[in-house]
Amino acid sequence: AAAAPRPGRDGEFRGRLDALKVGQEAFEVEPAGGRAGSQAGFDEAPTRRWVPPSTGGTAEPNDRPYGDMFFQGYGTNPFVDTEDDPLSTFAVDVDTASYELARGYLRRGHLPPADAVRVEEFVNSFDYGDPPPRRRDFAVVAEGAPSPFAATARTYLVRFALKGREVAASHRRPAVLTFVVDVSGSMNRENRLGLVKRSLGLLVDELDAGDAVGLVVYGSRGQVLLAPTGDYERVLAAIDRLRPGGSTNAEEGLALGYETARRHFRDGAINRVILCSDGVANVGATGPDTILRRIAEEAAAGIELTAVGFGMGNYNDVLMEQLADRGDGNYAYVDDVETARRVFVENLTGTLQTIAADAKVQVEFDPGQVQSYRLLGYENRDVADRDFRNDAVDAGEIGAGHQVTALYEVKLREGAPQRGDLATLRLRYRSRESGRIVEDAAGLGRQDLARSWSEAPRGLRVAAVVAEFAERLRGSYWARGTSLRELAAAARDVGRLGPWDSRLAELTELIEIAARLEGGGPAAEPDDRFER
């Protein structure tokens, strides 16, 4: 397996999004014989092949276009025979923007474009109640049960989860933050800038005396409004005075932001740029390629990036995701104050303080127990098996208290022993605290599998509903047999197993909206929370 080329980083073909000039590797699973024979919006059984990148202005599946939304499709992982390749290797991802974007589409009465849906970002948007570690950086959960969505009894859903070490707010390292805010004319739409100002205000209110905040803005030109300071009254006043106008020189704005962060770099502190933008970059000397190279260099020097997207319509998801990836950071999308509070208040320590850098996961399946497997999501996070222990390969970052969940569909081998390990998960990362490379392992045994879906742990059942919802939204061949109405009922059933929290209620609401839209009906009453 180590020598075989895999989709994603290891592919020899490179797609290019001409509208952005961003070099990307793009593979997709394509139906055998093309898409002409697909039914009801679903792909045929996939095979691997190269596909050219997506373009902007994607039309929604219900023929109600939402202009100039730029997304990139990465295909759908197929089943892999363990006799061909027992190893599944990927970089971790704690981004959540795809779920938040899809929620925005649905609440506005649109089905999201298939390319907007990244399964892992849906799954990692939810808290599964996994316990944090006591002494180590991570606790590992490995569990499984017969899949309620599969046609055969030998197909199981397996959940691997990493829960990061929690850091109390009082023990968080001091932070030097540089806000880089897009104040171009496009930020006047839907009062995007107004939501940015409220969001940053929430963040500033959570900071301590040892922290500092600087403010850089860009429209037609970049400008440093405030060098990093602990005078939060000045910071809030400067944020409040922001007004939109001009074109979008993201290159100059980010360059000034990183220059400011570098000048005020503090050893032993969190040094982070927080970008707030709709991702549109229509002015600049050389285009986003230069921005991405610069950000990667700054990340290597210890300045990380959080990319926060705002706005629906004229929004560039591709660029925002790549900025966060190159900047060793995370990517979130904010469309209401509640989401801003979750990112900048409830999860602030995890957003700011990284505990693991270049984190990679490799799952090794036992061919004697497992016939084939399929990883749900992480298509654009693929790492060559041979590079798992290559620490020069860029991977993902995990913040304090963050969780990472990966779901696999696993087909057990007929006549396999009823005892023994099915798989071994290995996690490799660089500790931010010690700077050392750490590798941990955990096994999944037959004894970790529930006998029936009704006996499955609640966390697995919630994650399964979330992942299947994402698979349905992106038209996955593997989800073609599940109806959205059945999925909504499954979400309600999970709610009866424990506390009916607001996130699970929201998920059920979104599935029901999608079911109505897919059937040609209205989304129900318009949601006026997004009309500011």
% of the chain surpassing 70 pLDDT: 83
- At 393, the amino acid letter reads V
Distance CA 167, CA 517 (A): 42
With 70 as the cut, is the pLDDT of residue 304 above it? yes
Is the alpha carbon torsion for 470, 476, 322, 128 positive or negative? positive
pLDDT of residue 124: 97
The CATH architecture assigned to 169-352 reads: 3-Layer(aba) Sandwich (3.40)
Amino acid identity, residue 532? R
Q: Which residue spans of the chain are classified as CATH 3.40.50.410?
A: 169-352
The pLDDT mean for the chain works out to 85
pLDDT tier for residue 524 given thresholds of 50, 70 and 90: low
Mean pLDDT of 362-380: 98
Residue 44: the pLDDT is 44
Identify the three-state secondary structure at position 341.
helix
* Single-letter amino acid code for the residue at 358: D
Name the residue with higher pLDDT: 13 or 230: 230
Tell me how long the chain is.
Answer: 532
Per-residue pLDDT for 101 more than 60?
yes
Highest mean pLDDT among 61-65, 66-70, 172-176: 172-176
DSSP 8-state symbol, 191? G
pLDDT-based confidence at 67, cuts 50/70/90?
Answer: low
pLDDT band at 522; cut points 50, 70, 90: low
Q: Are strands 304-309 and 270-277 parallel, antiparallel or unpaired?
A: parallel
β-strands 155-164, 138-146: how paired? Answer: antiparallel
Q: What is the pTM of this model?
A: 0.85
Looking up tokens 């930020």, which residue turns up?
A: 187
**Residue 299 clears pLDDT 50, i.e. is over it:** yes
Residue 41 reports pLDDT greater than 70: no
The residues pairing with 430 across neighbouring beta strands, listed in sequence order, are 357, 437
* Average pLDDT for 479-501: 86
pLDDT band for position 521 (50/70/90)?
Answer: low
Looking at residue 513, its pLDDT comes to 97
Residue appearing with tokens 């979400």: 491
26 — pLDDT class (breaks 50, 70, 90): very low
pLDDT tens for residues 319-338?
899 999 999 999 999 999 99
> Residue 302 and residue 265: Cα distance in Å, rounded?
9
What would the mean pLDDT of 226-255 be, rounded to a whole number?
Answer: 94
- What pLDDT is recorded for position 499? 63
> Phi, psi (5° rounding) for residue 377?
90, -170
**pLDDT band per the 50, 70, 90 thresholds, residue 279:** confident
Question: CATH for 15-166+354-454?
Answer: 2.60.40.1230
Q: 399 pLDDT band (50/70/90 cuts)?
A: very high
pLDDT bucket at 285, cuts 50 / 70 / 90: low
The pLDDT assigned to 242 comes to: 96
Cα separations in angstroms, 430 against 29, 233, 295: 32, 37, 20
- The stretch 508-514 carries a mean pLDDT of 97
Q: How many CB atoms lie within 10 A of CB 301?
A: 11
The CA-based angle 524-526-528, given to 5 degrees, is: 150
Could you give the angle at the alpha carbon of 227 between the alpha carbons of 226 and 229, nearest 5°? 100
Write out the two tokens for 72.
């990139």
Q: Check residue 151 and give its pLDDT.
A: 84
Q: Which residues pair with 81 in a beta bridge?
A: 372
Question: Range(s) for CATH 2.60.40.1230 in the chain?
Answer: 15-166+354-454
What gap in Å lies between CA 295 and CA 305, rounded to an integer? Answer: 8
- Spatial contact of 102 and 117, defined as CB atoms under 8 Å apart: yes
pLDDT, tens digit, for every residue of 408-425? 999 999 998 889 999 999
pLDDT at 25 over 80: no
Q: Torsions phi, psi of 373, nearest 5?
A: -145, 160
Question: CA-to-CA distance for 350 and 398, rounded, in angstroms?
Answer: 8
Q: Report the DSSP beta bridge partners of residue 125.
A: none
CA–CA separation, 233 vs 178, rounded Å? Answer: 16
